[in-house]
Structure 1
Amino acid sequence: MRSDPKSSVPKQARSVARLAAVQALYQMEVSSAGAETVIREFAEHRFDRDVPNESGEDMTLAHADEAFFADLVRGVVEHQKSVDNAIAKRLASGWRLDRLDATARAILRAGAYELSYRADVPTEVVIDEYVELAKSFFEGPEPGFVNGALDAVAQDTRR
């Protein structure tokens, strides 16, 4: 069964938006930049730009669903207390969210926001997408940790 190429574009655009949102959340945490500043920076300087590849030729970065990206970043910031509580509730005894790596924290926050506030996105899609993102950043147990944590958040938020 072949997939319709038109249907894969939004999926890829959302995947790119999720990656960018994780990067933006990380950037906000380490630099204390505000959401609107980072959203504007990504829109003006990172999305749909030609960048040199390894051979020095320009290649266009994949298209991102910029509205989805902005919703993820703004949503995590707006609902950070409830998002963090949803994650913290499912961490092992003695663990705190601030003990986690900043990248893992950004991945979990974006995923927990989607699970809690974006009912239009299927649970399996959210978990799979953020586990794949974790795999792109980590080689150790972190992807499994992200899978377990987001699955637990989904059980709490999507009954």
Structure 2
Amino acid sequence: MSKRIQPRSVSRLAAVQALYQMEVSGAGVDAVVREFSEHRFDRAVEDTEGAQLAQADETFFADLVKGVVSKQAIIDPAIVRRLASGWKLERLDATARAVLRAGAYELMNRPDVPTEVVIDEYVEIAKSFFEGPEAGFINGALDAIARDARV
């Protein structure tokens, strides 16, 4: 029996999905937050193994998504500083960008959440989307951003 996924974990996963959706569709932040609230958070959610997930912490979800959007001009350069020389953020997969942006936002703006929790959560999210080296890349990038942001 797998353990129940916590509300903030569900919120982080949903925030990554929302950020991805906004990037590929061009939808605005308020519309996407409202869509998740009205149509995605109102039903029971199960993981890939059929385990019941907790309900999302909708306030935390909205803070993540709206925070990334409002602080993207600060977040994106913080990520780019930690990419390999010559790499541009646009070169990354859109899902990886969403994971990095949400993680960087939390590291830079949510001192109430321990660094290890932020990094572990987003590495696990990366593992749910990617089977290759991306999770390790996300881990390294977020660790470096944490060192920059939480001195």
Structure 2: 5+ residue stretches without partners? none
Check if 1:35 corresponds to 2:29.
yes
Alpha carbons 1:76, 1:110 under 8 Å: kept: yes
2:123 maps to: 131
Q: 1:70 to 1:52 in 2, by over 3 A?
A: closer
Q: TM-score if structure 2 supplies the norm length?
A: 0.91
Structure 1: 5+ residue stretches without partners? 1-7
Check if 1:12 corresponds to 2:2.
no
**How many angstroms does 1:94 deviate by?**
0.9
Percent identical across equivalent pairs? 72
Alpha carbons 1:134, 1:142 under 8 Å: kept: yes
How many angstroms apart in 2 are the aligned matches of 1:98 and 1:52? 32
Give SS of 1:21's match: helix
Give SS of 2:6's match: helix
Q: TM-score if structure 1 supplies the norm length?
A: 0.87
The structure that has the greater radius of gyration is: 1
